[in-house]
Amino acid sequence: MAMTVKFTLSKRAQALTSSAIREILKVTERPEVISFAGGLPSPATFPVQRMREATDKVFDEAPHAALQYGPTEGYTPLREWIAARHSKNGVTIRPSQVLITTGSQQGLDLLGKVLIDEGSKVLVETPSYLGALQAFSLFQPQFVPMRTDEQGIVTEALTAEQLQGGRFMYCLPNFQNPTGRRMPLDRRQALVQRVTEAGVLVVEDDPYGELSYHGEQLPSLLSMNPDNVVYMGSFSKVLAPGLRLGYLIAPEELHGKLVQAKQAADLHTPSFSQRIVYEALQGGFLDRHIPEIRTLYAHQCELMLSALERHFPAEARWNRPAGGMFIWVTLPEGIDTGALLAQAIEQNVAFVPGAPFFAADPQVNTLRLSFVTVPAEKIEQGMEKLGVLVKAAVAANKAGAVAA
Amino acid sequence: MAMTVKFTLSKRAQALTSSAIREILKVTERPEVISFAGGLPSPATFPVQRMREATDKVFDEAPHAALQYGPTEGYTPLREWIAARHSKNGVTIRPSQVLITTGSQQGLDLLGKVLIDEGSKVLVETPSYLGALQAFSLFQPQFVPMRTDEQGIVTEALTAEQLQGGRFMYCLPNFQNPTGRRMPLDRRQALVQRVTEAGVLVVEDDPYGELSYHGEQLPSLLSMNPDNVVYMGSFSKVLAPGLRLGYLIAPEELHGKLVQAKQAADLHTPSFSQRIVYEALQGGFLDRHIPEIRTLYAHQCELMLSALERHFPAEARWNRPAGGMFIWVTLPEGIDTGALLAQAIEQNVAFVPGAPFFAADPQVNTLRLSFVTVPAEKIEQGMEKLGVLVKAAVAANKAGAVAA
């Protein structure tokens, strides 16, 4: 009776394609590859001993509750902790606005489910986080790319036509993935005002906000108008990503719908990991731990910037991030970083080509470098190899331009 | 600038309503309520010491890997373990067919995403698992309810018209939620053959299969035609649900799409809990542990059946499950178990009315009783109270029928 059925996939599944990053990451699992591609936090920053003590405490004090089903909204003390941490700059966040998610990525999926119909307008940065574009794409929106510069979204360039009927605007104001850019305060204020006046909801994705190298943090968009901002936070970059623990803070009317969607998606995020993280956070742990991550990442960022100066040609441009995990490099027009990646992989170096981060009109001469996963000593080594390839590509591109 | 925006919700979110079970569970959190409502495994069965030892091993041997991002498909050794466990009855399951999910519930969401378009036909049992109806509903299918009897789906009653164009058939052959029924072998064979010939994919949801009280297990639908069956398994009922660890076994072509949908949904299931569960499973632990669960549940099922005999009126009908967690009770027509629940809650007893388990034409005179969460000594106490209410409802219903 072994007859095979030809499945009929949904339209959204037919449109799914494997992510470029995903395919790349497969190659970079080879230990000989120096990979600037992954957005993986440095395992050196994982507070293993602290997590172990927290786990022991959970097993000592509440093993059965930690192993049982729990409420969809999340573990109440953890929600209270999150609400308190975001109650600042004159704004009070209520625990009832917090929803614990299975990683920040799940927040994107839930927002897509609850807010996007086929053809709905969703405003996104140019470029934007690839994982968000993928999550939203499943619900078949019409992406509206917003113009950006070194300081993020150019508010004045937003037209009434772009905003009209937008379901939401998605942005990462702090050390954006992929560009590493941070929006200054005046930009934030202007953006929230403009978008709110236009009747468009703001989705603020903030996994990197705590990773400001010099410690100074800018007010969140959430703090500027909590009635119109959904804030997405994560413990992946300040504790460890393998726990898959993130959260949403949303206006209560929307929160209720997100909870219903979450219930259908996975009932709830593991009680076990929620309780462990809650215990790990006690006694102000993050405020002692995060400065260690900042120091390490600031150091590695400096190493990569220095290597860029020494090994990359004058024609390449890049930013100097004030925090986060990424540097964004723009090569001369005419160079395709996808082709460059193929050459780099042969030399056992990897990065992410910029194209997949664009909702439309990809700039194929861009690339993203992550400086946090690779140990310091390998940054120089990898960048030297990459520099040779980039110089050759720039030279060939010039020759091609002259010939044409 | 605190102006509120009126969100525009997606059509699917507008159709979302809060689950009846969810609202009930809120009430039953009060400690004085004896609840036969929840589908929560007995915490007495959680292997706390074993989980603790497994966690210690993970912290000793691979803490950084357990706290880092991992592959979307899941932890490879765990996938291999699952594939080996399901390779029996002459069928070989490859690890590449296994996808680890954040609870079985996520498998339902991923299948909905990948297989359902608005209006797609999805065949479901009458009644069926409420959480599946909710998960699929988000993708706006057209449910096709299949006729069932005490032995599950009545294959001969399936018409060509019902099957025509069906994206998939969803069923729980073992100790179904909510009815506790198990499909006999001949039914399984006839069903797989009929549905496969009609070109319809089978989704076999099997969280309770291991909970056969006398240990004998029937061949899975998967084993009858692995090319046309997606199998959903879970560690929630054999280890602990608070870990949120489930899995899908799917034909490879479909598996690839499910992986892509999973990546957009939460990147991957926590590395931490996957590794812990893998360690806990070593050395044949389940084969020693599951018999303890079976013995406890068989005993509690007997207690409830005995209480039903003593306290429920002759007009009520129910089944004698051979495994699992649930008994399905049918009261005389004309009785609404929703109204009965309101009375029961006043007496601090709870159950789940049957209506929400029906994709169409709800039988409001049915109810689901769970006998595993409540300790043995409370079963008698709760059932006595419930019996009084049911007898009164039956008497009032008769009087009403006579009056009418």
**CA distance linking residue A348 with residue A340, whole number of Å:** 12
Q: Which of A282, A311, A327 is the last residue of a domain?
A: A282
Higher local confidence (pLDDT), B377 or B300: B300
Nearest-10 Cα torsion for B64, B67, B70, B76: 70
Q: How far apart are the CA of A390 and the nearest CA of chain B, in angstroms?
A: 30
Across the interface, whether the CB atoms of B69 and A5 are under 8 A apart is answered no
Instruction: Give the pLDDT confidence score for residue B38 in this predicted structure.
Output: 83
pLDDT at B3 over 60: no
- What is the per-residue pLDDT across B181-229, written as a single tens digit (0 to 9) for each? 999 999 999 999 999 999 999 999 999 999 999 989 999 999 999 999 9
Give domain status of residue B6, yes or no: no
Sole residue written with tokens 């074993």: B50
pLDDT at A2 over 50: no
Give phi and psi for A35, each to the nearest 5. -110, 115
Give domain status of residue B261, yes or no: yes
Query: B218 and B334, same structural domain?
Result: no
Across the interface, whether the CB atoms of B68 and A40 are under 8 A apart is answered yes
Residue among A109, A113, A136, A138 at smallest CA distance from A124 = A136
The partner residue sitting opposite A228, judged by closest CB among B4, B18, B240, is B4
- What is the per-residue pLDDT across B48-65, written as a single tens digit (0 to 9) for each? 999 999 999 999 999 999
Give domain status of residue B7, yes or no: no
Interface check B16 vs A, CB under 8 A: yes
- What is the per-residue pLDDT across B309-344, written as a single tens digit (0 to 9) for each? 999 999 999 999 999 999 999 999 999 999 999 899
Instruction: Give the pLDDT confidence score for residue B236 in this predicted structure.
Output: 96
State what percent of residues in chain B have pLDDT above 90.
90
List, as ranges, residues 305-364 from B with C-beta within 8 Å of A: none
List, as ranges, residues 223-242 from B with C-beta within 8 Å of A: 224-225, 227-228, 236, 240-242
- What is the per-residue pLDDT across A232-277, written as a single tens digit (0 to 9) for each? 999 999 999 999 999 999 999 999 999 999 999 999 999 999 999 9
Give domain status of residue B8, yes or no: no
- Find out whether A264 and B138 touch, Cβ atoms under 8 Å: yes
Query: B292 and B262, same structural domain?
Result: no
Query: A253 and A202, same structural domain?
Result: yes
Six token digits for residue A203 = 């989705």
**CA distance linking residue B204 with residue B222, whole number of Å:** 7
State what percent of residues in chain B have pLDDT above 70.
96
- How sure is the predictor about B401, in pLDDT bands with cuts at 50, 70 and 90? confident
pLDDT at A19 over 90: no
pLDDT (average), residues A25-52: 89
Give domain status of residue A6, yes or no: no
Cβ-proximal residues to B262 (8 Å cutoff; 6+ apart), any chain: B72, B99, B101, B106, B110, B268
- What is the per-residue pLDDT across B126-167, written as a single tens digit (0 to 9) for each? 999 999 999 999 999 999 999 999 999 999 999 999 999 999
pLDDT at B117 over 90: yes
Q: Which of A252, A267, A282 is the last residue of a domain?
A: A282
Query: A35 and A175, same structural domain?
Result: no
Cβ-proximal residues to A56 (8 Å cutoff; 6+ apart), any chain: none
Count residue pairs from A and B with Cβ separation < 8 A: 272
pLDDT at A17 over 90: no
Instruction: Give the pLDDT confidence score for residue A23 in this predicted structure.
Output: 67
- Find out whether A74 and A99 touch, Cβ atoms under 8 Å: yes
Q: Considering chain B, what is the average pLDDT of its residues?
A: 94
Six token digits for residue B205 = 């949801």
Query: B331 and B249, same structural domain?
Result: no
Instruction: Give the pLDDT confidence score for residue B1 in this predicted structure.
Output: 42
Instruction: Give the pLDDT confidence score for residue A1 in this predicted structure.
Output: 43
Give domain status of residue B337, yes or no: yes
Query: A63 and A122, same structural domain?
Result: yes
pLDDT (average), residues B66-79: 96
Across the interface, whether the CB atoms of B6 and A225 are under 8 A apart is answered no
Query: A240 and A129, same structural domain?
Result: yes
A368: which strand partners?
A328, A352
pLDDT (average), residues A68-77: 95
**Of A25-29, A105-109, A143-147, minimum mean pLDDT range:** A25-29
pLDDT at B30 over 90: no
Instruction: Give the pLDDT confidence score for residue A404 in this predicted structure.
Output: 60
Give domain status of residue A44, yes or no: no
Q: Element (H or E) spanning B166, and its range? A: strand B166-171
Query: A295 and A192, same structural domain?
Result: no
Instruction: Give the pLDDT confidence score for residue B311 in this predicted structure.
Output: 98
- What is the per-residue pLDDT across A145-197, written as a single tens digit (0 to 9) for each? 999 999 999 999 999 999 999 999 999 999 999 999 999 999 999 999 999 99
Six token digits for residue A7 = 């499945």
Six token digits for residue B13 = 């979110």
Q: How far apart are the CA of B125 and the nearest CA of chain A, in angstroms?
A: 19
Q: Which of A282, A310, A339 is the last residue of a domain?
A: A282
- How sure is the predictor about B7, in pLDDT bands with cuts at 50, 70 and 90? confident
Residue among A293, A301, A243 at smallest CA distance from A269 = A243
Query: A313 and A225, same structural domain?
Result: no
**CA distance linking residue B105 with residue B129, whole number of Å:** 11
Query: A294 and A273, same structural domain?
Result: no
Higher local confidence (pLDDT), A291 or B27: A291
Instruction: Give the pLDDT confidence score for residue A350 in this predicted structure.
Output: 94
Interface check B113 vs A, CB under 8 A: yes
Across the interface, whether the CB atoms of A264 and B115 are under 8 A apart is answered no
- Residue A149: Cβ-neighbour burial (10 angstroms; 0-12, 13-18, 19+): exposed
- What is the per-residue pLDDT across B247-264, written as a single tens digit (0 to 9) for each? 999 999 999 999 999 999
Interface check B43 vs A, CB under 8 A: yes
Considering its fold, how many domains does chain B have in total? 2
CATH of the domain at B383: 3.90.1150.10
What is the full DSSP assignment across B39-78? -PPPGGG--HHHHHHHHHHHHHH-HHHHHS---TT--HHH
Sole residue written with tokens 């690339």: A367
Instruction: Give the pLDDT confidence score for residue B2 in this predicted structure.
Output: 45
- How sure is the predictor about A5, in pLDDT bands with cuts at 50, 70 and 90? low
- How sure is the predictor about B16, in pLDDT bands with cuts at 50, 70 and 90? confident
Instruction: Give the pLDDT confidence score for residue A6 in this predicted structure.
Output: 72
Interface check A46 vs B, CB under 8 A: yes
Give domain status of residue A214, yes or no: yes
pLDDT (average), residues B85-106: 95
pLDDT (average), residues A215-227: 94
CATH of the domain at A228: 3.40.640.10
Which chain A residues are closer than 8 Å to B242 by Cβ? 65-70, 270-272
Which chain A residues are closer than 8 Å to B267 by Cβ? 103, 105, 131, 244
- Domain with A298, as residue range(s), is 17-39+287-403
**CA distance linking residue B82 with residue B248, whole number of Å:** 10
The partner residue sitting opposite B113, judged by closest CB among A13, A103, A116, is A13
Instruction: Give the pLDDT confidence score for residue A90 in this predicted structure.
Output: 87
pLDDT (average), residues B281-290: 97
Query: A75 and A32, same structural domain?
Result: no
pLDDT (average), residues A315-344: 96
Across the interface, whether the CB atoms of B268 and A5 are under 8 A apart is answered no
Across the interface, whether the CB atoms of A193 and B1 are under 8 A apart is answered yes
CA A283 to chain centre: 28
Straight-line distance from the first to the last Cα atom of chain A, in angstroms, rounded to the nearest whole number: 62
**CA distance linking residue B248 with residue B101, whole number of Å:** 7
Query: B182 and B39, same structural domain?
Result: no
- How sure is the predictor about B404, in pLDDT bands with cuts at 50, 70 and 90? low
pLDDT at A27 over 90: no
